[in-house]
Structure 1
Amino acid sequence: MTLTTILPVQAAQITEWAAARGEAAWLTERRLQALELAASLELPKPEKTKLDRWNLSDYGTFKAAAVVSSQSDLPSAAQDLIEEGTQNLIVQHNSGVVFTSLSEELSAKGVIFTDLETAAREHEVLVKKYLGTAVKPSEHQVSALHHAAWNGGVFLYVPKNVELEVPLQAVFLSDDASASFAPHILVVADTNSRVTYVDNYVSAGLNGSVLHNGAVEVIALDGAKVQYATVHQFGKEVTDVSYRRALLSNDADIEWIVGEMNDGDTVADTATTLNGRGTHSDAKIIAIGSGAQKLNFTTRAVHFGKSSESDMFTRAVMREEAQAIINGITKIEHGATKSNGQQTEKVLMLSPNARGDANPILLIDEDDVMAGHAASVGKVNPDQVYYLMSRGISKTNAERLIIYGFLAPIIAEIPLELLRTRLQRIVERKLGQ
């Protein structure tokens, strides 16, 4: 007997949505191929998390977004996240991008910064070449469905030898539970280029459940340096499933800075493949869990290139009944001699009912390498609290200072001051301060 997989998205919907957007024919064909593939694939199987028990069917329906000409016309929830005077900005509101801005200076340098749907029409060669190379439709059913149903998104291309001094920013806002919301981010940093990209995901006023099935692809060619900062702050109504991937060529470098501040259930997988020699990946992740959240965060580095280096640093705070699985995976393949992979996972639990599992994993297939890991799970150190209280600080403020100090090394790395300040406020709210 043959079982038929019933998918939450159908081919007729994909075709209808694509026609409504005036999408390039080749992209629609790729979507339909991904949808067909999804029917034959299983759900991903993150460590100790059973996604078959999660609601992963709330894709909603495509709703055309009303484009605005000024930042002042954006929803307030989006405006709150934008630095004053920002010139390089993309804002997605539910199913589509509604605002795009790129300075004349960067445009003159050949920088492309637009929504991915537009890029597929106007920069077909580039998008065709790189779309789906880091987050492949064949990974699992969720990635295949993403490639079938993504909307809006960002395409950022930095030409060869162009070094950008100012960050480029994007904001993704979901405030209509019936609207599909699945942005795809594609960053291509050409040879010897340098760029900082920052985005923020937020929900507001939702009156129903939403699935965010998002994907990020970063392609760093020889000698390119990419700093990628992202903060997710969805409400309880949103189930957040995010896959981030980077592919590094010779001497390329990526720095991930990730703030996982959602109130709903979350699975996030951030992985770097160090293909070239002399590559470097640095991943810094902070997370706060509260209520009855179920969280699963995986950070991975896979070494193929010789003399490649990776660092992974994760800090998580769990309160109330939140449960988190924190996975760090360093894989050094045979032939990646002189490589060095290091990782640290630390979990601080603020409640006897909270749970945090830190799982450092080293998979080494080469002798001439260095690799190491450290992991800890514990409560606020009472000796530290006592010391601060002996200096006249209340117990509540003492615990708060210790927690902020625990998270500060990563918060300080956020490259936009407004985002750092907002992240601080989110931390205070999540910790009930």
Structure 2
Amino acid sequence: MNVDDLRAWSSAKDEPRWLIERRVHALELAGTLELPKVEKIKLEKWDIYESGDYKAENAWSGLEDAPEVVRDLVASPVKGGLIVQFNSDVVYTKLSESLAAQGVILTDLHTAAKEHEELVQRYLFQAVKPEEHSLSAAHSALWSGGVFLYVPDGVEVEAPIQAIFLNDTSGVRFAPHILIVAGSNSKISYVDHCISSRDDIKVLHNGVVEVFAGAGSKVQVASVHQLAAATTDFTQRRAVVLADGGVEWIVGEMNNGYTASDTKTLLQGNGSISDTKVIAIGSGDQKLSYTTQAQHFGRSSVSQMITRAVMREEATAIINGITKIEKGATNCDGQQTERVLMLSPKARGDANPILLIDEDDVTAGHAASVGQVNAEQIYYLMSRGISRSEAEYLVIFGFLAPVISEIPLEGVRSHLQDVVEKKLGRS
């Protein structure tokens, strides 16, 4: 897409002038910036150069218009809120009347830019900036659909807000931007699913999640990706947390294709907290990179990062954990664990824990392990009459269970268990 086409498309969406100019600037940047640096991954060999064509979709009058794959993910009735993006467009939005009455906002990002312009302009692309690399610039220029979720100061939302991003067509633009703003002393749980309807769909998912957690707020963000083998997934997640606020990331990386994700928390405020849990399964000839990061600026801030990955067949995974404690961030505690289980001699896993400490008065630690499945465990289970495939499943699930069991959202926990079984070929 050239600048003139981008201006015309954005204008047709009735976007404000400042947003149109930001898009144009980002498009110009995209042609000058390099690809992101991903540890031990040759990103330039991936299918990441085609952003796809915008595909307009008609709004759904109700969930009866939704395909079965969407209906299966939605609890009925919807208690909190639900927003669904189909390819390039948001087609369904529902927010409970009680939450709307309290000032909670749930809408697509195009609408938010018009109706809540001051809020969106204040926060959009302040955590993930277009100047970072060519893919962030391309996303900043071409995102479509997306989610804007705003929770006012002091409002506690008990029922999760759910989003579903469904892709069923090759070659379309699939680049949702999720912007979550939680006011001071608020509470919110957001859950999304990013899915393909078939395994032969070929697109680039260039997605961004930005979370701004106000002072004393508690934000949970859970995300499960199940994209097609022919789809490339590049996802950046970023949270900014103010004093005594907390963000919890729960990520299920269950794609069938090449995947690179970076989940990072900026602990800006004193006493801020970050907790990140990542579960991943690779199969076939997948190339995978999962990076989790915590950057401490505030005093007495705490971060915990746990990644557990299972590699099957010829899958390759690079697991990076980065804890950065800045000068002046005294009395911080940063801990991380990366563990990779390989089920095949041809599978590969690489765990890279990194501690970057610029302050003396802190606590920090890491643990990492990469290894094959324990043959004695498999033999023991088989000696009790259990088949090899069932024995391997039990070992895998036992490896992942300590993290899955800690997920506080029951719906996400049970769905992840189902997804794990599907990814392992049991359903």
TM-score (norm 2): 0.96
Q: 1-side partners of 2:403 and 2:221: how far apart? A: 13
State the partner residue of 1:69.
Answer: 61
Q: Determine if the alignment matches structure 1 residue 117 to structure 2 residue 142.
A: no
State the partner residue of 2:293.
Answer: 300
State the partner residue of 1:17.
Answer: 9
Unaligned runs of 5+ in 2: none
TM-score (norm 1): 0.95
Q: How far apart are 1:57 and its partner, in Å? A: 2.1
RMSD value, Cα:
1.5
Q: 2-side partners of 1:346 and 1:23: how far apart? A: 45
State the partner residue of 2:204.
Answer: 211
Quick one: structure 1 residues 206 and 391, their matched pair in 2 at CA, closer, same or farther if it must change by over 3 Å? closer
CA offsets 1:284-337 (integer angstroms, 9 cap, x no match): 001000000000110000001100110000000000110110000000011110
Q: 2-side partners of 1:207 and 1:11: how far apart? A: 31
Q: 2-side partners of 1:98 and 1:416: how far apart? A: 26
Between the aligned residues of both structures, percent identity stands at 60
Which deviates more from structure 2 when the two are superposed, residues 343-352 or residues 40-49? 40-49
Q: Determine if the alignment matches structure 1 residue 54 to structure 2 residue 74.
A: no
Quick one: structure 1 residues 19 and 206, their matched pair in 2 at CA, closer, same or farther if it must change by over 3 Å? farther
Unaligned runs of 5+ in 1: 1-8
State the partner residue of 2:166.
Answer: 173
Q: 2-side partners of 1:11 and 1:264: how far apart? A: 31
CA offsets 1:17-39 (integer angstroms, 9 cap, x no match): 21332222221111001111222
Contact 2:168 2:201 in 1 (8 A): no
Q: 1-side partners of 2:409 and 2:322: how far apart? A: 29
State the partner residue of 1:330.
Answer: 323
Q: 2-side partners of 1:211 and 1:16: how far apart? A: 23
Q: 2-side partners of 1:77 and 1:389: how far apart? A: 36
Q: How far apart are 1:56 and its partner, in Å? A: 1.0
Contact 2:127 2:210 in 1 (8 A): yes
Q: 2-side partners of 1:146 and 1:364: how far apart? A: 32
Quick one: structure 1 residues 224 and 187, their matched pair in 2 at CA, closer, same or farther if it must change by over 3 Å? same
Q: 2-side partners of 1:392 and 1:52: how far apart? A: 48
SS of residue in 2 equivalent to 1:230: strand
SS of residue in 2 equivalent to 1:256: strand
How many residues get paired?
425
CA offsets 1:195-222 (integer angstroms, 9 cap, x no match): 0000000011376520000000000011
Residue identity in the other structure for 2:404: I
Q: 2-side partners of 1:274 and 1:207: how far apart? A: 40
Residues 83-162 of structure 1 mapped to structure 2, 5 A cutoff? 83-87=75-79, 88-162=81-155
Q: How far apart are 1:428 and its partner, in Å? A: 1.9
SS of residue in 2 equivalent to 1:37: helix
Residue identity in the other structure for 1:214: G
Contact 1:330 1:361 in 2 (8 A): yes
Q: How far apart are 1:402 and its partner, in Å? A: 1.5
Q: 1-side partners of 2:202 and 2:19: how far apart? A: 28
Q: 2-side partners of 1:330 and 1:431: how far apart? A: 32
